[in-house]
Chain A
Amino acid sequence: MAPDTRYKAVAGDLVLLGRAAPQPTPLPGLTAAVMTRLSAVPPPVVATTPQHVLRRVVEVVATNRRRAVAVVTTLLLALLATPPVRATVADWFGFAGVIVRHEVTPRPSMAPPPPPAAGATTIEQANALVAFGAVVPDALGVPQGVEVSADRRLLSMSWTGGRDGTVRLDQFDGRLDYTFLKVARADKYTSVAGSPALWFDEPHEVVVLNPDGSSRTETARLAGHTLIWQYGDTTLRLEGNLTRARARTIARSTTPLP
């Protein structure tokens, strides 16, 4: 801690001195007071230059540098359209492996139910195939479909015929694997067990990007209500005709496989 061992004792005492000082706790009204004052502030304007965009793209894909160049070309135009403040705030939360692009293009008001996972493997078999620790939401019970992508990076499960209709859960190691590109008009911040989560309550496009950054066209489809959150390093994406409350309940019930 001290730059020099001779000063270790005094440095250590200074740390203790700091810890002994009263720890102020924020008054309950602090956040509300800030937000009230901000409601009168016009949103800050950010000049979105190509340099900004480039930096952001590199940051988004920093977990997987080798695909950065391809992603830059894929997303350059998309990011130019991203409201800058929003993009900045989303970066701070860092949903690994998810890029959200905002667009005002009208969408159909209804999305088809998500495609069920096709595979006939069991959760245990699937968990053994992927390199990350798979998780299951207990609220949904045993999935009817379990599928692992050919490159073993994406694990999908689906439930059909229950009270929720068709529900699909995709999971991947957010540190290095897939990138979902979501094109939506708006998304909302919510939380799952105290951690930030993103909620999409309008139909939106979703595309799975290849590890090299190109989009996998066969995966492009219209998605309905979707909740995105993280469990440890695993990024989860839950889709179906769910209310936000129900989606959060399902998300909160997530536990790792033994």
Chain B
Amino acid sequence: MRGGDRDAYAELVNRHAPVALRAASLLGAGPDAEDVVQEAFVKAYRALSRFRKGAAFRPWLLRIVANEARNLHRAAGRRAAREQSAWERTAPLLTAPEADNPATTALSRERRAELVEALARLSEKQRLVVTCRYLLEFDEAETATVLGWPRGTVKSRLHRALRQLHDELARPETAALEDDDVHRREVGYGA
């Protein structure tokens, strides 16, 4: 590896490490996020030959990160056990209050607990798409790359996930009535 390449790649690692860590921790790595990210950067370098010229580095790296985070749970056995194992590492991060983070106070402790319980009842795929799109705030295109799904699949799974979350969660009393009426009329046919 040439000197200039090393410096350039180190710069890429520096630049993308924070978002990679955050993605790893919420996509199933939990406290092992640092190891997952290190592994992902090494794999990304090895896989540079498959990198499509002209594509952005970040979504591609994050896709490797997402795969590595899921790979941590291979030892857990059957699929259901693996998915459960990944969620068990993520959920505590979402419920644990962080004292000096202003976003923590934006939601009540009860609301956070409610959201996390509702997330637990989603399918693994729905949880992944919600995690990428909302918890990690990736845009739709990046979410599609990170999860390796077509854009249409991201849209439809996200829509179903949001509908389920919306239906399960207690809404603020004042706003609930009208919205729910509209909602019932629209989904009534399929119910």
Q: Which of A's residues lie within 8 Å of B, judged by CB?
A: 1-4, 6-7, 9-11, 13-27, 30-31, 33-35, 37-39, 41, 43-47, 52, 55-56, 58-59, 83-86, 88-93, 186-191, 196
In the assembled complex, the Cα of A15 lies from the Cα of B103 at a distance in Å of: 10
Residues on B with C-beta less than 8 A from A33 are 38
Digit string of B20-43 for contact with A (CB within 8 Å is 1, else 0)? 011001100000011001100110
**Among the interface residues B17, B172, B182, which one has the most CB atoms of the partner chain A within 10 A?**
B17
- What chain B residues lie within 8 Å of A45 (beta carbons)? 49
CA distance A11 to B137 in the complex (A): 10
- When the two chains form their complex, are residues A89 and B112 in contact, meaning their CB atoms are under 8 A apart? no
Contact call A15/B7, Cβ cutoff below 8 A: no
B149 on the A face (CB < 8 A): no
Closest CB in chain A relative to B136 CB, distance in Å: 6
Q: Is the CB of B4 within 8 A of A30?
A: no
- B47 interface residue per 8 A CB criterion: yes
B18 touches A196 (CB 8 A): no
A18, B135: Cβ atoms closer than 8 Å: yes
Interface size class of B (residues with CB under 8 A): 35 or more
A34 touches B42 (CB 8 A): yes
Looking at the assembled complex, report how far the CB atom of B185 sits from the nearest CB atom of chain A, in whole angstroms. Answer: 11
Whether B171 and A24, one on each chain, are in contact in the complex, defined by CB atoms closer than 8 angstroms, is no
Q: For the complex, is B12 an interface residue (Cβ under 8 Å from A)?
A: yes
**Within 8 Å CB of A14, what residues of B?**
115, 130, 134-135, 165
**In the complex the two chains form, what is the Cα distance from A22 to B21 in whole Å?**
11
Chain B residue numbers with a CB within 8 Å of A196 are 11
Contact A20 B38, CB 8 Å, known A6-B183, A38-B1, A44-B46: no
Question: B42-54, CB under 8 A of A: which get 1 and which 0?
Answer: 1001111101011
Q: B130 to chain A: which residues have CB within 8 Å?
A: 14
User: In the complex, which residues of chain B have a beta carbon less than 8 angstroms from the beta carbon of A55?
Assistant: 53-54
User: Do B9 and A16 have beta carbons less than 8 Å apart?
Assistant: no
Known: A17-B94, A34-B38, A56-B53. A41 touches B12 (CB 8 A): no
